Structure 1
Amino acid sequence: MSENATRQNGQLARNDSMYGLSNVDPTLEGTPDDMTVVDAASLRRQIIKLNRRLQLLEEENKERAKREMIMYSITVAFWLLNSWLWFRR
C-alpha cells in the first residue's frame, strides 16, 4: 500500500510515500494551549457519540432479551403441552 493512514484528533491524515504529500487539517496546527482546546472538544464529541451508541446498544439488548424470554416461554409451553398430549395417549 503506497499510502500510510493514521488517525490524529479525529482527522484522517494520509501521507503518500511516493510524493511526500500530507493532508493534515490546518486547525491542528497551533500553540499547545490551542491543541488542548481542540483535543478536549474532539474528545468531548467522541464521548458523546460513544455514549449514544452505547445507549442504543443497551436498548437493543433489552429488546432482544424480552424477545428471547417470550420465545423461550412459548417453546417451553409447546413442549409441555406436546409432552402432556403424548403421555395421555
Structure 2
Amino acid sequence: ITRNSILRDQVILRNLYGLSNMDTTLEGTPDDMTVVDAASLRRQIIKLNRRLQLLEEENKERAKREMIMYSITVAFWLLNSWLWFRR
C-alpha cells in the first residue's frame, strides 16, 4: 500500500464521517433518523468494502511484479558473475 492510497483512504473516511454528521442534522423523528443513518452507513460500508478489495488486488499485483523483477535481477547478477569468473 502506498502513502498516497493511505492518504486518499483517510480523506474518504473523513468525508464519510462528515456525511454521517450531516445526516443527523436533518429534521425528522428519531425513527426516521435511524433508518436514514442505517441506510447511509450501509452505503458507506459497501463503498469502503469495494475500495478495500481494489487495494488488496493492487497489492497482490504489485507483489507479483516485484517477485518477477527480483527474480530477473538475481538471475542477471548470477549470470554476470558466472561470466566474469570464467574470464
Q: Which TM bucket (shorter chain)?
A: 0.7 to 0.9
- Name the structure where helix makes up a greater proportion of residues: 2
- Dislocated runs of 4+, deviation >4 Å: none
| Percentage of pairs with the same residue | 89
Structure 1: which 5+ residue stretches go unaligned? 1-5, 13-23
Aligned-residue RMSD, C-alpha: 1.9
Q: What is the TM-score with the length of structure 1 in the denominator? A: 0.72
**CA distance, structure 2, for counterparts of residue 10 and residue 57 of structure 1:** 27
- Name the structure where strand makes up a greater proportion of residues: 1
- In the alignment, which residue of structure 2 is the partner of 1:64? 62
**CA distance, structure 2, for counterparts of residue 66 and residue 48 of structure 1:** 27
| Equivalent position to 1:34, from 18, 32, 35 | 32
Whether the aligned pair in 2 keeps the contact of 1:10 and 1:42 (CA below 8 Å) is no
Structure 2: which 5+ residue stretches go unaligned? 1-16
**Structure 2 residue 18 is matched with structure 1 residue 7:** yes
Q: CA deviation at 1:9?
A: 1.7
Q: Secondary structure at the match of 1:64?
A: helix
Higher Rg of the two aligned structures: 1
* Alignment: residue pair count: 70
Letter of the 2:47 counterpart: K
Q: What is the TM-score with the length of structure 2 in the denominator? A: 0.73
- In the alignment, which residue of structure 1 is the partner of 2:12? none
Whether the aligned pair in 2 keeps the contact of 1:9 and 1:42 (CA below 8 Å) is yes
